Amino acid sequence: MTLNLLTYEPLPASPPVQAEKRRSPVLALLLSLLFPGLGHLYLRFWRHACWIIGFELVSLLVIAGGSGQLHAMAIIAAPSLYLFAVIDAYFSAREWNAGVTGWMIGANPRITAILNLLTKGFGYFYLGDRTKGIVCFLATSAAQGALLVHTNVWTQVLAISLQAAIALDGYRVARERLIAQHPELRSRPPGERNGTSVVDIANLDRLRPEFAVGFFASLGAAMLIAYATLMALNGHAVRSKGTLEQGPTGLTYLNPREGIELTVPEGWTASRSEDALAFLQTDEANVIVQEQFSIYAVDSILNETEKDLRKRHPAATFAPLKTKLAGRLASGFDTSFDNSKGVAMHQRILGFRRRLKMFLLIETWTHPDNRHTLDKIERDVRLQ
Mean pLDDT of the region 245-252 = 88
pLDDT of residue 218: 92
Helices 46-65 + 68-98 axis angle, to 10: 160
Kindly tell me if the per-residue pLDDT of 384 is higher than 60: yes
pLDDT of residue 153: 64
pTM for the full predicted model: 0.73
Rounded CA gap, 220 and 288, in Å? 39
CATH 3.30.2350.10 fits 243-383, yes or no: no
How is the chain split into domains, by residue range? 25-233, 243-383
pLDDT of residue 260: 92
Q: Which of 65-69, 119-123, 215-219 has the lowest mean pLDDT?
A: 65-69
pLDDT of residue 207: 73
User: 77-102 pLDDT, tens per residue?
Assistant: 889 999 999 999 999 999 998 888 88
pLDDT band for 1, please (50, 70, 90 cuts). very low
Helices 109-119 + 68-98 axis angle, to 10: 180
Q: Which amino acid is at 352?
A: F
User: 102-152 pLDDT, tens per residue?
Assistant: 889 888 999 999 999 888 888 999 988 888 888 888 888 888 778 766 666
User: 290-336 pLDDT, tens per residue?
Assistant: 998 887 778 878 888 898 999 999 999 999 999 988 888 899 999 99
